[in-house]
């Protein structure tokens, strides 16, 4: 069976092409990280060599630690990402439940209204968002970012979660109703645990864009104490542009947390994309 | 008879999402479009109708920048369509091959650039392509092509294309994953039926799989379109708000940022910024409508 699709030459060619592209994908990351551990002269003399006993140096990391408040930036990014995800999931699941479970006037219309934001980027409204944040005094607070990311993530979350909630069995919910559970208890105790995989997918989809965003931190929260890691490294690198050790170390430090998150969640992410959640 | 009563729980379930979404997304969107119709005259907000748009499209100082940014943006999009999506489809076709070993490993590795922030990607490539560091010329030297090297990001004629290719490098993982997912749904029986008829290998891909995944190609095209027309971060991280050299990498996102916030000696102008946002909104809306009504409804969907 299937002889035509599995001859060894073909397979070698396929592996060759995939290895080549994998190298292209990983090469820049690799170069940045190995050079961040070298002293200045070796960075320029042998940029592609691994750090050895002679060229090894942590001077870049020392500069970064001394000059930039990377711990604070990291903490800000963490707070913003986790809080936004929490609100996206909570509010999104609640709205998705209302849309998928109950029949009421305007259900379809409400669904369409919430879906509008899937295609229209929130950045278009930036001018008015900034004006509103200034008026409410939220500018330069992490709340401004949390609100914006929550609003940005909700449309897709509602869309994906309501698809999944339609599949939760009616018998289960009706059994709960007969036992006298309130609608709220049914939602939180029966339905939410069942859609946990879909919630994880939504969380992973939203996590990376929120963590990596530069536009809103730059506009809504550029103050030193509210800088996110992305904005913080951008500003830091801009200032230290001639200090190659510091720049390479700052880049490596910005790569690290995302890479760790990716290693933890990549299975979830890939399963989410390939299960067709975004069709 | 049962009287229709308000079911409060529905309201409670819907309210938080609808309130946040309306207040932070929909309302500012329309408010921005409204602000585009005003202007600041002597510290006061004055309604000027479509004058801002007239300035944007026809005033020599503004229109030159606007058409430049719009043209660049279309070039940026074109490169993505011509390079990113074909590479993504090719990689997905390879990965979806049955009994390919290490497929999961390749998939995860190729997706890594997609998870990095624009700041990392922008600076990393800036360093690698930099003539000071010399990695790019050295590597070209290995294959005997050193004469081809030029400081691409610093040259007006190459900078935009280079950045578009960097962006392609970063995002190729997305079309790859979506097409890969679509290819997995192609049933084995159809492929075997094709084999019986002598359609194998490349022919099977072109004649059987590709027509079946056309809807997914439509989706990645519109995602690319929307993403490109509100891009900003990569250009800003690599070339700064001035989108140098000499505005050759300026796209609508950076143009809007500069106009809205001001730079160097020019003061920020929220009303002109809103007008540019309005233009971006219109372009994205046209693109989405062409997709929804022109492409998606006409696309043949095969019942699998």
User: Considering only alpha carbons, which residue of chain A is nearest residue B198?
Assistant: A4
- Kindly report the number of other CB atoms within 10 A of residue B149's CB atom: 16
Q: Distance between CA atoms of B72 and B280, rounded to whole angstroms?
A: 14
A126–B32 CB contact, under 8 Å: yes
Contact call for residues B46 and B181 (beta carbons, < 8 A): no
- Kindly report the number of other CB atoms within 10 A of residue B237's CB atom: 24
Which CATH class for the B60-296 domain?
mainly alpha
- Partners of A38 in beta bridges: A56
A258–B115 CB contact, under 8 Å: yes
- State whether residue B296 sits within 8 Å of chain A by CB: no
| pLDDT per residue as tens digits for the range B6-29 | 788 999 999 999 999 999 999 999
| pLDDT per residue as tens digits for the range A12-68 | 888 999 999 999 999 989 988 988 898 888 888 877 888 888 888 888 888 888 887
Mutation target vs A (from B21, B22, B291; most A CBs, 10 A cutoff): B21
| Res. A279 pLDDT band, cuts 50 70 90 | very low
Predicted local confidence at residue B301, as pLDDT? 63
- Partners of B46 in beta bridges: B39
B17–A95 CB contact, under 8 Å: yes
**By C-alpha distance, which of B266, B223, B272 is closest to B252?**
B272
| Res. A77 pLDDT band, cuts 50 70 90 | very high
Fold entry, domain A64-274: MetI-like fold (1.10.3720)
| pLDDT per residue as tens digits for the range B239-255 | 888 887 889 999 999 99
A128–B35 CB contact, under 8 Å: yes
Residue A133: pLDDT over 80 = yes
- Kindly report the number of other CB atoms within 10 A of residue A258's CB atom: 20
- Kindly report the number of other CB atoms within 10 A of residue B288's CB atom: 16
Which H or E run includes A262? helix A244-274
| Res. A3 pLDDT band, cuts 50 70 90 | very low
Residue B139: pLDDT over 70 = yes
Mutation target vs A (from B13, B121, B184; most A CBs, 10 A cutoff): B13
Average pLDDT score, chain A: 88
CB-CB neighbors (< 8 A) of B18 in chain A: 95, 110, 114
The answer, as to whether pTM is greater than 0.80, is: yes
Predicted local confidence at residue A4, as pLDDT? 46
| pLDDT per residue as tens digits for the range A200-236 | 888 888 888 899 999 999 999 999 999 999 999 888 8
B115–A14 CB contact, under 8 Å: no
| pLDDT per residue as tens digits for the range B40-76 | 887 788 888 888 999 999 999 899 999 999 999 999 9
User: Considering only alpha carbons, which residue of chain B is nearest residue A116?
Assistant: B26
Q: How far is CA B124 from CA A166, A222, B170, in A?
A: 45, 23, 12
| Res. B304 pLDDT band, cuts 50 70 90 | low
- Rounded to the nearest angstrom, the gap between the alpha carbon of residue A240 and the centroid of all alpha carbons in its chain is 27
**By C-alpha distance, which of B251, B256, B287 is closest to B271?**
B256
Residue B136: pLDDT over 70 = yes
Identify the three-state secondary structure at position B45. strand
User: b/e map of B10-44 (b: 16 or more CB within 10 Å)?
Assistant: beebbebbbebbeebbbbbbebbbebbbbbeeeee
The residue-averaged pLDDT of B155-171 equals 92
Predicted local confidence at residue B280, as pLDDT? 95
Average pLDDT score, chain B: 87
Q: How far is CA B231 from CA A121, A178, A230, B228, in A?
A: 10, 52, 16, 5
CA dihedral (B82, B84, B89, B90) in degrees, to 10, reads 90
Model ipTM value: 0.87
| Res. A275 pLDDT band, cuts 50 70 90 | low
B190 compared with A94, residue with greater pLDDT: A94
| pLDDT per residue as tens digits for the range B283-302 | 999 999 999 888 777 776 66
Predicted local confidence at residue A1, as pLDDT? 40
| pLDDT per residue as tens digits for the range A98-107 | 999 998 888 9
What is the residue extent of each domain of chain A? 3-57, 64-274
Identify the three-state secondary structure at position B39. strand
Q: Distance between CA atoms of B286 and A106, rounded to whole angstroms?
A: 27
Q: Please identify which residue in the block is written with the tokens 């006409």.
A: B298
Angstroms from A69 CA to nearest CA on chain B: 17
What is the residue extent of each domain of chain B? 60-296
Mutation target vs A (from B18, B89, B115, B182; most A CBs, 10 A cutoff): B115
A29–B124 CB contact, under 8 Å: yes
């Amino acid at each position: 069976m299937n002889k035509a699709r599995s001859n060894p030459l073909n397979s070698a060619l396929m592996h060759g092409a995939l290895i080549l592209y994998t190298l292209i994908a990983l090469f820049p990351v690799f170069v940045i990280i190995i050079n961040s551990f070298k002293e200045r002269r070796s960075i320029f003399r042998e940029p592609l060599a691994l750090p050895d006993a002679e060229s090894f140096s942590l001077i870049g990391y020392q500069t970064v630690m001394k000059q930039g408040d990377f711990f604070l930036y990291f903490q800000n990014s963490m707070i913003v990402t986790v809080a936004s995800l929490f609100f996206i999931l909570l509010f999104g699941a609640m709205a998705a439940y209302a849309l998928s479970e109950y029949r009421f006037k305007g259900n379809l219309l409400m669904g369409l209204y919430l879906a509008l934001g899937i295609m229209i980027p929130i950045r278009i409204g930036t001018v008015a968002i900034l004006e509103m944040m200034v008026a409410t005094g939220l500018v330069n607070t992490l709340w401004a970012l949390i609100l914006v990311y929550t609003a940005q993530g909700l449309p897709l979350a509602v869309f994906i979660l309501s698809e999944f909630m339609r599949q939760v069995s009616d018998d289960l919910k009706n059994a709960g109703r007969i036992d006298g559970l309130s609608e709220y208890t049914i939602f939180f105790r029966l339905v939410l645990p069942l859609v946990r995989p879909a919630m994880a997918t939504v969380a992973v989809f939203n996590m990376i864009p929120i963590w990596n965003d530069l536009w809103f931190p730059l506009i809504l929260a550029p103050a030193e104490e509210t800088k996110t890691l992305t904005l913080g490294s951008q500003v830091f690198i801009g200032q230290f542009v001639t200090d190659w050790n510091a720049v390479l170390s700052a880049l490596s430090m910005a790569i690290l947390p995302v890479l760790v998150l990716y290693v933890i969640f990549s299975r979830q992410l890939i399963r989410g994309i390939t299960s067709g959640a975004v069709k | 008879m049962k009287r229709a009563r308000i079911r409060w729980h529905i309201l409670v379930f819907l309210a938080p999402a609808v309130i946040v979404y309306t207040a932070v997304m929909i309302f500012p969107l329309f408010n921005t479009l409204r602000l585009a119709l005003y202007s600041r005259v002597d510290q006061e907000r004055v309604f000027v109708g479509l004058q801002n748009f007239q300035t944007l499209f026809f005033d020599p100082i503004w229109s030159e920048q606007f058409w430049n940014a719009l043209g660049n943006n279309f070039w940026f999009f074109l490169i993505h369509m011509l390079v990113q999506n074909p590479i993504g489809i090719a990689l997905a076709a390879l990965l979806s091959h049955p009994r390919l070993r290490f497929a999961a490993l390749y998939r995860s590795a190729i997706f890594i650039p997609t998870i990095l922030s624009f700041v990392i990607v922008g600076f990393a490539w800036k360093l690698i392509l930099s003539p000071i560091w010399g990695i790019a010329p050295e590597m070209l030297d290995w294959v005997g092509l050193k004469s081809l090297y030029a400081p691409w990001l610093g040259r007006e004629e190459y900078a935009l294309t280079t950045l578009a290719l960097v962006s392609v490098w970063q995002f190729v993982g997305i079309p790859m994953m979506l097409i890969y997912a679509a290819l997995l749904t192609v049933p084995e029986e159809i492929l075997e039926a094709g084999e019986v008829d002598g359609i194998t290998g490349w022919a099977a891909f072109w004649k059987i799989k590709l027509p079946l995944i056309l809807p997914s190609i439509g989706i990645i095209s519109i995602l690319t379109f929307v993403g490109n027309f509100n891009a900003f971060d990569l250009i800003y991280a690599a070339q700064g708000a001035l989108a140098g050299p000499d505005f050759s990498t300026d796209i609508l996102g950076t143009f809007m940022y500069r106009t809205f916030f001001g730079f160097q000696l020019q003061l920020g102008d929220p009303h002109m910024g809103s007008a540019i946002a309005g233009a971006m909104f219109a372009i994205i809306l046209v693109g989405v409508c062409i997709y929804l009504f022109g492409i998606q409804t006409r696309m043949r969907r095969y019942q699998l």
